[in-house]
Amino acid sequence: MKPELLEKFNASFDTPTPIQSAVWQRLTDGDSIFGLAPTGTGKTLAFVLPVLSRIDTNLKRTQVLILAPSQELAMQTTQVAREWGNVVGASVASLIGGANGRRQADKIKKDKPHIVVGTLGRVLTMVDGGVLKLDHIAAVIFDEADAMLTEERHDSLQELADKLPSHIQLGLFSATSGVDLNYVSDTFEQKVHPISVGTDAPVSIKHEFQYVDQRAKEKVLIQLARNNQQALVFFNTISALVNMQATLRHAHVSVMSIGSNDKRQVQRADALRLFKKGEVTLLLVTDVAARGLDIEDLPLVVNAQLPQRKKTYVHRTGRTGRMGKIGRVLNLGNDHDIRDLKRELGDSFNLDKAENLFEKSIKSQEKTVTKDTNTNDVSSVSKAKKSSSAAPLVTKKEVIVEPTTKVKKKKRAKSSKDKGKPKWAKNGKTK
């Protein structure tokens, strides 16, 4: 690893995580690997630092391609890669579906970044349009590989493989197994070596459940918000997310959403930014949208709809309790739902009945203590607390995913106005 990167790392962290220690040298040496490690254990830096060490900054060509399954994860990885790339003079650009394609194309042509981070569809569009050149690519990283290398993507993956140089390095990273390494080796003509440091659930996360019906779910989420308990709330379907968001907004809850069918990348980014800043109490998400997100000190994950598979549960709950910090997961469902979830999880997770649904998060407790110590008027403090709990928690900016006729008309008007192929997409690929 380049000395500048190692110096910055040692100044920022006490010690490498197990996955970082296990793969750094292998990736630096050019080996193709599949890194398997629990969520929240530093997988992004596990691949970013080695690939940065191999980049020739004197060559103004794209040398590394990092692919992510969602816009949000691609943006997050871009930010990390840019921060560390600045240390060694490596440039980084993002190619993300939902953003302005013209602007992205112009930036790629002008800057010729050393690293490109993106979603598969947008990357292929830029390649087909002659914008992104792959002739100097030395390494391809698949973040959240189990979500990237699915059967539904095989045609697109084959298209990518056909355009890549031979003898490239592959880096696959995931918190769960399920990646067909034989398929990967056949498609990209590279032998991939598995490196596992375990997939055990972090012991710092408390897993709880509560028996509720649909109406009670709504009440639970409303009360969580009014108790200032910030949470990432998962849904299995967009329709359920939309309905719940409408209910919560009607109750004046501070809520935003990121749905997998929402193409407005700027608004999705805005929702995530406000949530990370603590200005939004509840962020409603689907599995695809929230895959791999790193939200610092997230206190609570709520499964408003229970996942059907253990793999999905692992990825959802991995948004809290990251890097050894304390986290909490609350599962909401009727007795049948909870019984099925316990059966699916087996002995991997210990689910306890929630004793206090609305226990204060550490952040909320700190805020309350600060408020109390700044005043000697006990009655005024009591009144302030009562007022704050009853006051509507509303943010002006909201990402509203509403399948109304008006929205559809706008979309049709936009598409009809933009007929014809963009110059950067000669073959007419979609995002």
Tokens 């929402």, located at residue: 262
| pLDDT of the residue at 379 | 35
Tokens of 240: 């359920």
Q: Are 430 and 121 in contact (CB under 8 A)?
A: yes
The residue type of 235 is: F
Q: Which of 170, 129, 168, 141 is nearest to 68 (CA)?
A: 141
Domain ranges across the chain = 3-196, 205-360+377-390
Residues 6+ away with beta carbon under 8 Å from 182: none
- Would the CATH topology of 3-196 be identical to that of 205-360+377-390? yes
How many C-beta atoms lie closer than 10 Å to residue 294's C-beta?
A: 21
Instruction: Write the DSSP symbol of residue 323.
Output: G
Q: Which CATH architecture has domain 205-360+377-390?
A: 3-Layer(aba) Sandwich (3.40)
pLDDT for the residue 264: 64
Query: Phi/psi of residue 126, each to 5°?
Result: -70, -35
Unique residue bearing structure tokens 């190619």: 95
Torsion of CA 253, 233, 275, 17, to 10 degrees: 160
Give the pLDDT confidence score for residue 41 in this predicted structure.
84
Name the pTM for this structure.
0.68
Q: What pLDDT is stored for residue 401 in this prediction?
A: 39
Cα separation of 134 and 13, whole Å?
Answer: 34
Residue-level pLDDT at 40: 78
pLDDT at 357: 73
H or E stretch covering 273: helix 265-276
Contact 61, 34 (CB under 8 A): no
pLDDT value, residue 359: 60
Question: pLDDT, tens digit, for every residue of 285-334?
Answer: 988 767 777 788 888 999 999 999 988 998 888 888 776 678 899 999 99
Model pLDDT for residues 38-95, shown as the tens digit of each residue: 887 889 999 999 999 999 999 999 999 999 998 888 999 999 999 999 999 999 999 9
In contact, 220 and 303? CB cutoff 8 Å = no
For residue 133, what pLDDT is reported?
95
116, β-bridge pairs: 65, 93
Which residue positions in the chain have pLDDT lower than 70?
199-203, 260-266, 289, 323-324, 359-431
The residue written with tokens 């599949």 in the block is 34
Q: What pLDDT score does 160 carry? A: 97
pLDDT of residue 253: 94
CA distance 56 to 94: 19
Distance CA(137)–CA(33), nearest Å, equals 17
> What's domain 3-196's architecture?
3-Layer(aba) Sandwich (3.40)
